[in-house]
Structure 1
Amino acid sequence: MKLFSGTISTLEKALDYSSLKQKVISQNIANADTPNYKAKDASFKEAFQSALKGSMEANKSDFRHYDFKNGSSSAQGAVTKRNASYNHNGNSVDVDKEMAELATNQIYYNAVIERVSGKFSSLQNVLRGGK
């Protein structure tokens, strides 16, 4: 019997992604004046693929059904932003955009923490017998 669904594990991976995003944004802001620094971004697609890897199972009742196998995906990490405009010193950091992404990431983090808190509250309610 599986005690927990994969939800807590998935939420943990969402928190890992948010932490990575926070680090990347902080590095970009810290290097805003560094000549020839290229802004980086956390790859959500790669983080999402690694979160789903191995967690989806299906029973095929017909040979024509699709498999739930993920394609090859690399580990999540920071990637250099593409289509970036460069300043006069070769730097591609836009501080205003980074601050907006920082605020967005904070909202995402708070939402995930709220879900984790709700899951643990539900478990605590079950352990108390619904009292």
Structure 2
Amino acid sequence: MDLFASPILVALQKQLDASALTQRVIANNVANVNTPGFKKSSVSFTEELRRALGEGDLPLATSNPRHIGAPVPLARVEPTVVKEEGTTMGYNGNNVDIDQEMVNLAANTLVYQAAARALGDRLSLLAYVIRGR
């Protein structure tokens, strides 16, 4: 049995990766707030993680992972960057709202800190068990 392949550890690692990517995307959006024609990006991850963990809709019964409706294995869930082309905030065609980006940054920071804390606590528990105290 692989101690580090548990669904909790994998989900936390994936969340940390997604939060790091989100940080880079937000930084890019903020850096281009005054660039004419720039379209902001966002990271899509939460819904994919929920589906992989089996939350939400009732899952379909499948006997093969290639069947339609089969849940995506947790190890294959990856964050994706999505460019938002359909909106415009300013006269120059840019759609970055600096206030919204700052809110996204604060929320992402909290998510990252919570995931890092949960992962650290989980690994501390494993270390405690291994030491046998």
TM-score, scaled to structure 2:
0.75
Residue 123 (structure 1) shift = 0.8
Task: Please show how residues 99-110 of structure 1 align to structure 2 within 5 Å.
Answer: 99-110=102-113
What secondary structure sits across from 1:34 in the alignment? Answer: coil
Question: Given residue 125 of structure 1, which amino acid in structure 2 is its aligned partner?
Answer: Y
Aligned residues: 118
CA RMSD of aligned residues (A): 2.8
2:61 to 44, 59, 66: 66
Counterpart residue number, 1:18: 19
The alpha-carbon distance between structure 1 residues 121 and 94, as it changes in their structure 2 partners (threshold 3 A), is: same
Task: Provide the C-alpha distance between the structure 2 equivalents of 1:78 and 1:36, rounded to a whole number of angstroms.
Answer: 18
Residue 9 (structure 1) shift = 1.5
The answer on whether the counterparts of 2:39 and 2:96 sit within 8 Å (CA) in structure 1 is yes
Task: Provide the C-alpha distance between the structure 2 equivalents of 1:74 and 1:80, rounded to a whole number of angstroms.
Answer: 19
Counterpart residue number, 1:3: 3
The answer on whether the counterparts of 1:46 and 1:75 sit within 8 Å (CA) in structure 2 is no
Residue 10 (structure 1) shift = 1.5
Query: Are 1:119 and 2:122 matched, yes or no?
Result: yes
User: Is 2-11 or 14-23 further displaced after alignment?
Assistant: 2-11
Task: Please show how residues 63-102 of structure 1 align to structure 2 within 5 Å.
Answer: 66-67=61-62, 69-70=70-71, 76-81=79-84, 84-102=87-105
Task: Provide the C-alpha distance between the structure 1 equivalents of 2:47 and 2:12, rounded to a whole number of angstroms.
Answer: 16
Question: Given residue 27 of structure 1, which amino acid in structure 2 is its aligned partner?
Answer: N
Task: Provide the C-alpha distance between the structure 1 equivalents of 2:77 and 2:118, rounded to a whole number of angstroms.
Answer: 27
Mark the runs of 5 or more structure 2 residues left unpaired by the alignment. Answer: 55-59, 63-68
Task: Provide the C-alpha distance between the structure 2 equivalents of 1:82 and 1:36, rounded to a whole number of angstroms.
Answer: 10
TM-score, scaled to structure 1:
0.76
Mark the runs of 5 or more structure 1 residues left unpaired by the alignment. Answer: 57-64
Residue 80 (structure 1) shift = 1.5
| Greater C-alpha Rg | 1
The answer on whether the counterparts of 1:15 and 1:109 sit within 8 Å (CA) in structure 2 is yes
